[in-house]
Amino acid sequence: MRSIRTLVLGAGGLLALWIGWGAYVSRTTERVSSETLDRFDGVEVRRYPRTVLAETTAPDDGTAFRRLFRYISGANARGEDVAMTAPVTTRGESISMTAPVRTESESDDVRMAFYLPSTYTPDTAPTPTDTDVRLVVEPPRTTAVRSFSWYATDERVDRERNRLLEQLSRRGIETRGEPTLLQYNDPWTPPFMRTNEVEVALEEVPARVRPATP
């Protein structure tokens, strides 16, 4: 009986530490600034300023993430640690850290990018020493996003992407390009505390969100 109680208390302590870590990382990670223009049916329309990203294309998520993590950990011309900013972005090509991480897919490769902290400009950001990592300047843009939690599995991402595009289509809002996955947490954050988003660029800023078409 005592051993069971000890086991339960130990498990509870580990869970508390895990949750505490997730909360700490979320509070201390800079996020890319944006202005919320509208909200409807689980969709948020945002306006982002010009941002600087470190980007790479790789065969898989793990390789892409490691390249970018090495860059912010000192694999740059100045040997400088760069704070991560959220999110990390990922898109497939067939696709202190600033949040989010962005991921995209095209063909069979993955294009992933880390947003750099707002203190960096294209002229002041340290140059990557890895030729597979490049600095990219993203101009001001308007996007629509849909948030979800837990792990960003392919099934969840596809479901949320389809819901996002459907909501925009019903309101006659035109999109540009393919949706992107944004991830705001490190790999060790508990799944129930994670923030993920699917995002798509808009052709123009909607003056007013139209009612949904029946």
Residue spans of the domains in the chain: they are 2-202
User: Which option is the CATH number for 2-202: 3.20.80.10, 1.10.150.530, 3.10.20.600, 3.20.20.80?
Assistant: 3.20.80.10
Strand partners, 144: 45, 200
Q: How many CB atoms lie within 10 A of CB 52?
A: 22
Inter-residue contact 92 to 180 (CB < 8 Å): no
Instruction: Evaluate if residue 35 carries a pLDDT over 90.
Output: yes
Inter-residue contact 135 to 121 (CB < 8 Å): no
pTM reported for the whole predicted model? 0.81
What pLDDT, in 10s, does the model give residues 144-162?
Answer: 999 999 999 999 999 999 9
- Dihedral of CA atoms 114, 118, 124, 125 in degrees, nearest 10, equals -10
What pLDDT, in 10s, does the model give residues 152-190?
Answer: 999 999 999 999 999 999 999 999 999 999 999 888 889
Q: List all residues 6 or more positions away from 14 whose beta carbon is below 8 Å from its beta carbon.
A: none
Q: How confident is the model at residue 26 (pLDDT cuts 50, 70, 90)?
A: low
Strand partners, 133: 56
